[in-house]
Structure 1
Amino acid sequence: MEKQHLTIAGGGSTYTLGLLMSLISEKDNFPLASITFYDTDIERQQKVAEASKVVIKEKYPDLEEFIVTSDKETAYKDKDFIFVQIRTGGLEMRIKDEEIPLSHGIVGQETCGPGGMAYGLRSIKDMIELVEDIRFYSKDAWILNYTNPAAIVAEALKRVFPEDHRLINICDMPISIMNGLATLINRSVWDLDPGYFGLNHFGWFTDIYDTEGHNLTDEIKNKILSEGLQPESEIAEDPSWIATFKQVEQTLRDFPEYIPNTYLQYYLYPKKMVEKENPKYTRASQVIGGRAKEVFEMCERISARQTIADEKLEGDVHGVYMVKIAESFAYNKNEKFIVMTKNNGTIPNIPKEAIIEVPALITSNGVKPIQVGEIGTFYKGLMESQYAYEKLTVDAYFEGSRLKLLQALTLNRTVVNANIANDILNDLLEANKDYWPNFA
C-alpha cells in the first residue's frame, strides 16, 4: 500500500491533536510517509507541533517525516492530500458573529444566520488563495476542506474552480449525529448505512440501515422519542451540545417523517434558540474558556513531560471520518460517505447548480453521488430558500453588492425581517471592515 504525503493546513487548530490521533488510529489503512503542519500563526502552531512531536514519537514511530512550516512551498509541494481547517479572524471574530445578531434578538451562531454570513464572507478570500497556492505546487493533490461555514465556502470555490474534482467539501455533523444514533441502539457508527439529503447544516436522514440491509429507522426514531438523543465522543459532556442534541426529540415530534440534522433547530425554532443564549457570553466565549484553553494546556503538559501518559488523548469520530474518506480516494475503495457535491440532478426538483449534502461513493476518480430523487414540497421550499440565501451571499461577495447582502439576510429563516436585517448588516459591516470587501 503506497504511503501518502499529507499536509494539515491550519496546523495550529485546537482540532489538530485529535486529527493526528485519528490518523494514527487509521495508519494501517492510510499509511503516511510524511505529515506537514502549515499555519500562518507560527506561535499557536508551535504549541500544537511540540506536543505532536511527542505523540508521533510514542504512537507513530514509523512515520518518516514530520514537518512544521509557515512556508507555502514546503507545505504544498508534492503532496497527496491537504486537509484544510482555517478560521479567518479567529475566535475573537466569532464572538462578534454571535454577539451582534443576538443584540438584535436574532440567532447568534457561527455558521447559521447573520453570524454564518459574516464568517463565510471572511473565509472566501483566504480559501480561494489557499486553493490557488495548493494548485501551484501540487496540481493533483486531494483537497479535503472542512472550513466553515462550508455551504458558503463551497459555493464560492465552485465558481472559481468549477472543474477541480479533487477539491472536496466535507462536514463532520452528519457523522457526529450518526454516532449518537448508533449509541442509542448499541451499534458501531461504522455499521450504519444512512440515507440523507439536504444542504450543509440543513438536512435530514431519511432511512438508517445496517450493513446487512436491515432497516433500523423506526427503532432509532422510537428511541429518540422515548430516551432523547445524546452527543457522543469528544462533545459528550459539553452542555451546549447536550442541549442541541436534546432538541432533536422535539423536531422529530413536530416533523416525524425524517430524522433532522441538529442545526435545523436554528431555522425551525429561532426564537427559542435566542432565548437560551447569553448575548454577553456566547458559544465562542465558552470555547475560548473551555475546549481551546484545555487543548493548549494539554499541549504544554505533553511538551513539558515529554509523554502523553495520563492524558485523555484519542482520535475523534469526525477525524476518523475524514481519514476514511481520504483512504477511499487514495486506494479507490468505492466506499459510501455523506459529502457535499454539486447537485446535477441528484435531487431533480431543486437547482442543478446547488451544492448539496448527500451520500456518495468515494473513488479515485472522484465523488459519485447516489441518486436521491424528488423531495417533498416542505423540504424543497426550505432548501430553495436556504440555497437562495447562500447564493446571494456569494453573489454579494463577488459583485460587491450590499443590496444582495440585505436580500440574503432577509431571506434567511433566522431573520426574515428587512428592518432587522438592515440594522444587523450595518453592525456586521463595521465589525468586518478589515476582512470583507467593500460593498456598494
Structure 2
Amino acid sequence: MKKHSIVIAGGGSTFTPGIVLMLLDNLDRLPIRQIKFYDNDEARQDIVADACEVIIKEKAPEINVVKTIDPKTAFTDVDFVMAHIRVGKYKMREMDEKIPLKYGVVGQETCGPGGMSYGMRSIGGVLELVDYMEKYSPDAWMLNYSNPAAIVAEATRKLRPNAKILNICDMPISIENLMAKILGLKSRKEMQVRYYGLNHFGWWTSITDQAGNDLMPVLKAHVKDNGYAVDFTDAGQHVDKSWQDTFKKVKDVYALAPDTLPNTYLKYYFYPQDEVEKTDPDYTRANQVMDGREKHVFTECKRIAENQSTEGSTLEIDEHASYIVDLARAIAYNTGERMLLIVENNGAISNFEPTAMVEVPCIVGKNGPEPLTQGEIPRFQKGLMEQQVAVEKLVVEAYAEGSYQKLWQALTLSRTVPNARVAKELLDELLEANKDFWPTLK
C-alpha cells in the first residue's frame, strides 16, 4: 500500500493537532510517509507544528516532518493538501460577528453578513493554495474544509474550474453522529442517508439502516420534542452551551418542514431575531473560542514542545475529522465510499440551477466525486435555496469583479438582513474593517 505525503495548509490552526492525532490513529487505513506543515504566520505555526513534531516522533517516528512558510517546499511532492485556513484569524472572526450585531443582524462566521465578510477574505487564500498545488504537485488533490465552504466552493467552481479540489464540511457528520446516538447505533456508518441542500443549508430526506429499514420515524419523534439534543456527557467536541442550545433549537426548525430533518444552521435563516436576542454583542462565539479552544491548544502545544513529551497531554483526537481519511482513501484506493460533498449540481437536483454548488451524497473514487441524483425538491426548500445560492454567487462575482454593487445586493438578498439600507450600512462598516483583506471594491 502506497505511503502518502500530506501537507496541512493552516499549520498554525487550533484544529491541526487534533487532525494530526486523527491521521496517526488511522495509519493502517491511510499510510503516511511525510507530513508537512505550511502557514504564512511563522510564529503561530511554530507553536503548533513543534508540538505536532513531538507527537509524530512518539507515535510514528518513521514519518518525515517538514515545517515551512515557503510554498515550493510545502507543495512539492505531496499527494494531498488538507486545507483549513482562516484568513484574518479569530480577530477578524470577532469583527464578522460583532459588526452585524450592532445592526440587530445575526453575527455568525458562515451565515449572513459575517459569512460574506469571511468569504471575501477566504477566496483569495484558498485560490492561492490551489495555484501552489497545481504548480508544484499537479497530480495532488486538495481536501478543503476552510470556511465559509459554500462561498469558497462557488469561487473555486467559477475561478478554478479544473482544480482537483473537494470542498467538505464536518457539520453533517456531527449531526449524523448525534442521530446515531439517538438511534442507539454504534456509528453513523450504519446509516444510509439521502440529503440535499447547500452547505450549512440542507435537509435529510431519508435515513435507513444497512438493511433498508426506515429510521426516520424514530428520529422525527425525538427531534419534534428535543431537536438533536442527547446526553452530551460523552458526545464529542460540539457540546459546549452554545452548541447544546443549537441542537435544541432544531425542533423549531424541524417544525417548518417535518417531512425532512434539517441542518442546524437553518436556525439563523428561520429565526434570526432569536439568535440576535440571545447573543452577547460584547462577547461572541469568537471570544469563546479564543478564551477556550485557542488558549487550551496553544498552552498544551507550548508545554509539549518544551518538555519534548506528550505525557499528561489533554489534546484530543478530532474524531469528526476521520471523514478526511475516508475521503483521501476513496481517492487513493478508489473505494467508492459514499459521502456528502459540495459539488456542482449539474442535474443532481433536477429542478435546480445546474451551476449551483449543492451538498449531496456522492460516490467517491480516484477521479473524484460522482453525485447521486436526488430528484425534484419541494417549493419551500427550492425557494430558500435559490435565494441563498444567489447570495453566494453575488459574493463571488463581487470578489471577481471588485463590485461594491454586487456585494450590496448579496447582503440585501440574505434572509438575515432586514432591508437594503441596513445592508449598505453594514457593508460600509465591514469594508472598513476588512480593508487589509478584501480586494478593492468600486
TM-score normalised by the chain length of structure 1: 0.97
Which residue is 2:352 aligned to? 350
Paired residues of 2:300 and 2:315 also in contact (CA < 8 A): no
Report how far residue 217 of structure 1 moved: 1.2
Q: How many residue pairs end up in the alignment?
A: 438
Matched ranges for 1:13-412 at <5 A: 13-63=13-63, 65-164=64-163, 166-187=164-185, 188-230=187-229, 233-412=235-414
Match of 2:4 in 1: 4
Equivalent pair of 2:107/2:114 in contact (CA under 8 Å): yes
The CA distance in 2 between the partners of 1:430 and 1:382, in whole Å, is 30
Q: Distance in 2 between matches of 1:211 and 1:2?
A: 31
Distance (whole Å) between structure 2 residues aligned to residue 374 and residue 400 of structure 1: 35
> Which range moves more in the overlay, 378-387 or 248-257?
248-257
Could you list the per-position Cα deviations for residues 385-429 of structure 1 after superposition, in whole angstroms to 9, with x for gaps in the alignment? 000000111111111211111111111000141111111011111
Q: Secondary structure at the match of 2:228?
A: coil
Q: 1:233-261, CA deviations, whole angstroms, 9 ceiling, x for partnerless residues?
A: 54344111111111112222333111110
Residues 5 and 233 of structure 1: is their aligned pair in 2 closer, same or farther, counting only changes over 3 Å?
farther
SS in 1 for 2:410: helix
Q: Give how far 1:302 is off.
A: 1.9
Give the letter for the 2:96 counterpart. Answer: D
Instruction: Output the CA distance in 2 between the equivalents of 1:209 and 1:25.
Output: 29
- Provide, for residues 113-171 of structure 1, a one-character-per-residue CA deviation record: whole Å limited to 9, x for no partner: 0000000001111211221111100111011111111111111111122122x211111
CA spacing shift, 1:214–1:25, aligned 2, 3 Å = farther
Pairwise CA distance, 1:337: 0.5
Give unmatched runs, 5+ long, in structure 1: none
Residues 201-258 of structure 1: per-residue CA shift (max 9 Å, x gap):
1001111122232221111121223444236754344111111111112222333111
CA change 1:37–1:234 in 2 (3 A) is farther
- What's the Cα RMSD here? 1.4
Q: Is the 8 A contact 1:406 1:425 kept in 2?
A: yes
SS across alignment from 1:193? strand
Aligned sequence identity (%): 49
Letter in 1 for 2:419: N
3-state DSSP of counterpart to 2:58: helix
Aligned letter for 2:242?
S
Residues 150 and 198, structure 2, Cα contact 8 Å, conserved in 1: yes
Q: Distance in 2 between matches of 1:310 and 1:206?
A: 44
Q: 1:381 to 1:159 in 2, by over 3 A?
A: same
SS at match of 1:144: strand
* CA distance in structure 2 between the aligned counterparts of 1:147 and 1:378, rounded to whole angstroms: 29
SS in structure 2 opposite 1:235?
Answer: coil
Distance across 2 between alignment mates of 1:226 and 1:425: 39
1:226 and 1:280 map into 2 onto residues whose CA distance is 32
Q: Secondary structure in 2 aligned to 1:13?
A: coil
Encode CA deviations 1:324-363: one digit per residue, 9 max, x unaligned: 1111111000010101100000001111000000110110
Report the Cα distance in structure 1 between the residues aligned to 2:333 and 2:3, rounded to whole angstroms: 11
Q: Distance in 1 between matches of 2:434 and 2:142?
A: 28
State the distance in 1 between where 2:7 and 2:225 align.
Answer: 44
Q: 1:309 to 1:183 in 2, by over 3 A?
A: farther
CA contact (8 A) 1:409 1:416 kept: no
Q: Secondary structure at the match of 2:355?
A: coil
Give 1:91's aligned amino acid. Y
Matches of 2:100 and 2:227, distance apart in 1: 29
Deviations 1:177-220 (A, max 9, x none): 11111111221122222111000110011111222322211111
DSSP 3-state at the match of 2:422: helix
Give the distance between the partners of 1:66 and 1:433, measured in 2 at CA.
36
- Name the SS for the 1:254 alignment partner: coil
Distance 2:253 2:191 in 1: 22
Q: Is the 8 A contact 1:233 1:317 kept in 2?
A: no
DSSP-derived class of the 2:264 partner = coil
TM-score, scaled relative to structure 2: 0.96
Residue 370 of structure 2 aligns to a residue whose secondary structure is: strand
TM-fit CA distance, 1:311: 2.6
